[in-house]
């Protein structure tokens, strides 16, 4: 197990370039096995999730090479094989292999996915979609067996709740199905548009991505002719914007699509951060005075649940109490007792309702990252705190943040990664 060691109190300055979107990457890599040619991605983030997905590909005789932000995948010699349960359990997004294997072979056997513990995240809407397309699904011994003996056929599917994962998985399963699938109440996230763009550039017919109705007309072949550039990671961008507002002397955050960030940047501006929003970057000036705000998480284009934790340490600097209403995952509060160890005063006043009271003095301590975004909140708090902060279970953070140590060091942060035995 790895730890992060942070000497806090240093002011951050300079530039940081945002990597490709984790939440796109973890769907695009499984999507690659639908191709009948090799595929190539660039702007791929250097995160542990990519390594684990490569291990899963390897188990199916799919070769991949990742170097300098470029990832090449060749699925032309793919075989059906048992997927490595350790890699599957390490990240929740491994469930995208359900849709892509079903689309490729008409069947899939996948161990229940793992990933962050942020409360219940059922996959019933994924299964509903697969069954509507003609698949039979059953569960046994922590494994999901999916089979479409008569092939997949287009259908009209209405999601009972907006789900990014189910929307992407149904697209993956339907893209080679016979006929047309109409997916209603679909999620609208930019990462879904990114997936559809990749598939369409290979000859797929996915229309309406980014709206709540998506039409997928099945095709027989998918052939990649160009490199697909992954969109910038709006969650990584928001994390650095919050960090810069909390501890910066002037930080330029580059490689941003501002339209993807509007719900988040609007709240920073409301809190008193004088953001300079440019075409593909945002400058965060030194911010001395912050006002308390109220935030309610919601599906895109609302305030992202993944940015709820990274903004929390910043709000501890406001001159009054702020509140966050977590409507997506009400149990996503495991960062709060850890932040309080660092001198903050944050309380869960009811399920999904968090109150952040102002505090002036923050001090280092040993804390534990329960999941990716909770860990990001601890990194920001550790940079704000006086003294040394040790963050245990740092693998969670490294799963989701591209070259974190390099980027923070370049911004004048004092952070290093150590093995537990060290």
Q: Would you state the structure tokens that stand for residue 282, as one six-digit string?
A: 């945002």
Q: Would you state the structure tokens that stand for residue 66, as one six-digit string?
A: 């990742």
Annotated binding residue at 123? yes
- Other residues' Cβ atoms within 10 Å of the Cβ of residue 40: 17
Helix (H) or strand (E) holding 369: none
β-strands 156-158, 180-184: how paired?
parallel
Annotated binding residue at 416? no
Annotated binding residue at 201? no
Could you tell me if 205 and 174 are in contact, meaning their C-beta atoms sit under 8 angstroms apart? Answer: no
Could you tell me if 378 and 335 are in contact, meaning their C-beta atoms sit under 8 angstroms apart? Answer: yes
Angstrom distances, CA of residue 262 to CA of 205, 208, 239, 243, 325: 29, 21, 14, 17, 18
Annotated binding residue at 402? no
Catalytic residue among 49, 74, 116, 393: 116
Report the alpha-carbon distance of residue 103 to residue 34 in Å, rounded: 7
Give all strands of the β-sheet with 136-140 in edge-to-edge order: 107-111, 143-147, 136-140
Closest CA to 328 of 98, 115, 39, 119: 119
Is residue 116 among the annotated active site residues?
A: yes
Annotated binding residue at 107? no
Annotated binding residue at 51? no
Closest CA to 371 of 379, 360, 363: 379
Annotated binding residue at 214? no
Report the alpha-carbon distance of residue 323 to residue 356 in Å, rounded: 6
Could you tell me if 363 and 386 are in contact, meaning their C-beta atoms sit under 8 angstroms apart? Answer: yes
Annotated binding residue at 200? no
Report the alpha-carbon distance of residue 213 to residue 52 in Å, rounded: 32
Annotated binding residue at 306? yes
Closest CA to 158 of 121, 96, 196, 213: 213
Q: Would you state the structure tokens that stand for residue 94, as one six-digit string?
A: 């491994």
Annotated binding residue at 77? no
DSSP, collapsed to helix, strand or coil, labels residue 168 as helix
User: Which residues sit in the known binding site?
Assistant: 22-23, 92, 121-125, 306, 328
Catalogue the active-site residues. Answer: 116
User: Which residues sit in the known binding site for UDP-N-acetyl-alpha-D-glucosamine?
Assistant: 92, 121-125, 306, 328
User: Which residues sit in the known binding site for phosphoenolpyruvate?
Assistant: 22-23
């Amino acid at each position: 197990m790895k730890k992060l060691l942070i000497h806090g109190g240093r002011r951050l300055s300079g530039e940081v370039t945002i990597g490709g979107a984790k939440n796109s990457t973890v769907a695009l890599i499984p999507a690659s096995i639908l191709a009948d040619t090799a595929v190539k991605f660039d702007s791929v983030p250097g995160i542990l999730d990519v390594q684990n997905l490569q291990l899963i590909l390897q188990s199916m005789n799919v070769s991949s090479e990742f170097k300098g932000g470029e990832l090449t995948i060749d699925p032309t010699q793919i075989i059906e094989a048992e997927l490595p349960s350790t890699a599957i359990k390490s990240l929740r997004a491994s469930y995208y292999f359900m849709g892509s294997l079903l689309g490729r072979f008409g069947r899939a056997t996948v161990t229940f996915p793992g990933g962050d513990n942020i409360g219940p995240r059922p996959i019933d809407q994924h299964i509903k979609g697969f069954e509507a397309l003609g698949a039979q699904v059953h569960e046994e011994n922590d494994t999901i067996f999916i089979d479409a003996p008569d092939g997949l056929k287009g259908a009209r599917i209405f999601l009972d709740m907006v789900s990014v994962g189910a929307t992407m998985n149904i697209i993956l399963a339907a893209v080679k199905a016979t006929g047309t699938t109409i997916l209603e109440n679909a999620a609208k996230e930019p990462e879904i548009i990114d997936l559809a763009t990749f598939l369409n550039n290979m000859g797929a017919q996915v229309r309406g991505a980014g709206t709540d109705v998506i039409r997928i007309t099945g095709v027989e072949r998918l052939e990649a002719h160009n490199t697909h550039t992954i969109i910038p990671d709006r969650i990584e961008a928001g994390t650095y914007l919050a960090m810069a507002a909390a501890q910066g002397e002037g930080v330029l955050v580059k490689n941003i699509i501002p339209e993807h960030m509007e719900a988040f940047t609007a709240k920073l501006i409301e809190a008193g951060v004088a953001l300079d929003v440019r075409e593909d970057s945002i400058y965060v000036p030194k911010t001395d005075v912050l006002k308390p705000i109220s935030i309610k998480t919601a599906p895109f284009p609302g305030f992202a649940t993944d940015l709820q934790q990274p903004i929390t340490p910043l709000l501890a600097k406001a001159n009054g109490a702020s509140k966050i209403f977590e409507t997506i995952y009400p149990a996503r509060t495991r960062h709060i007792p850890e932040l309080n160890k660092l001198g903050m005063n944050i309380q869960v006043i009811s399920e999904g309702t968090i109150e952040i009271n102002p505090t002036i003095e923050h001090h280092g301590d040993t804390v534990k990252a329960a999941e990716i975004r909770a860990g990001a909140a601890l990194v920001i708090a550790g940079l704000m705190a006086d003294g040394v902060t040790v963050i245990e279970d740092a693998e969670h953070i490294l799963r989701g943040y591209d070259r974190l140590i390099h980027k923070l060091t370049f911004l004048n942060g004092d952070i290093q990664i150590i093995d537990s035995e060290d």
